[in-house]
């Protein structure tokens, strides 16, 4: 509350005892308690009035509107991928990529240990959209030649 420790309370008590005197100290404490109770009751009434005003002004709806972004994330997730198929496909793809990378790493370590390079397999270029079957795009042919030549231009 006011962050007053026991030592500060003792100093205040001794000063009050000296200023007021031991004879009138109980009356002063009773008077201070009475006014503290009044102040607390007024604060309670003020808080209740503000709460009532907030309910009348429908600020509870505003409070709920502020809290809904936390729920919006799950709602958005359900709207984008309600069945979970997209997440499953992405997880499967990630697994395949990781498996392919581990195979490449394994073959690279095998090449290091043998000291021989593995034979390069020709890579088929993907056909661009709209290309006729059997025709390779000029860029794809150049890429294939680069791969066969060991990546040299």
CA distance to 37, 44, 56, 61, per residue, from 49 (Å): 18, 9, 11, 18
Per-residue confidence band for 81, with pLDDT thresholds at 50, 70 and 90: confident
Whether 38 has a pLDDT exceeding 80, the answer reads yes
Per-residue confidence band for 84, with pLDDT thresholds at 50, 70 and 90: confident
* Per-residue pLDDT tens digits for 62-73: 667 766 666 777
- Residue 129: closest CA among 115, 140, 120, 144: 140
Q: What angle do CA 48, 68, 59 make, to 5 degrees?
A: 25
Instruction: Name the pTM for this structure.
Output: 0.33
152 close to 146: Cβ distance less than 8 angstroms? yes
**Token digits of residue 54:** 């907030």
Whether 140 has a pLDDT exceeding 70, the answer reads no
Residue 56, φ and ψ in degrees, nearest 5: -65, -35
Estimate to the nearest angstrom the gap between the alpha carbon of 150 and the chain centroid.
46
Structure-token match 């031991």, residue found: 22
In whole angstroms, give the CA distance from residue 77 to residue 87. 10
Whether 100 has a pLDDT exceeding 60, the answer reads yes
């Amino acid at each position: 509350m006011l962050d007053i420790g026991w030592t500060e309370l003792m100093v205040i008590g001794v000063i009050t005892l000296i200023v007021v005197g031991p004879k009138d100290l109980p009356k002063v404490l009773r008077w201070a308690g009475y006014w503290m109770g009044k102040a607390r009751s007024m604060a309670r009434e003020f808080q209740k009035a503000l709460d009532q005003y907030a309910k009348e002004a429908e600020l509870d709806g505003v409070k709920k509107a502020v809290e809904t972004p936390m729920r919006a994330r799950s709602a958005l997730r359900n709207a984008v991928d309600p069945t979970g198929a997209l997440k499953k496909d992405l997880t499967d793809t990630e697994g395949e990529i990781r498996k392919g990378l581990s195979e490449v790493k394994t073959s690279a370590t095998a090449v290091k240990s043998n000291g021989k390079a593995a034979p390069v397999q020709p890579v088929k270029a993907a056909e661009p959209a709209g290309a006729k079957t059997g025709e390779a795009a000029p860029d794809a042919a150049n890429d294939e030649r680069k791969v066969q030549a060991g990546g040299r231009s």
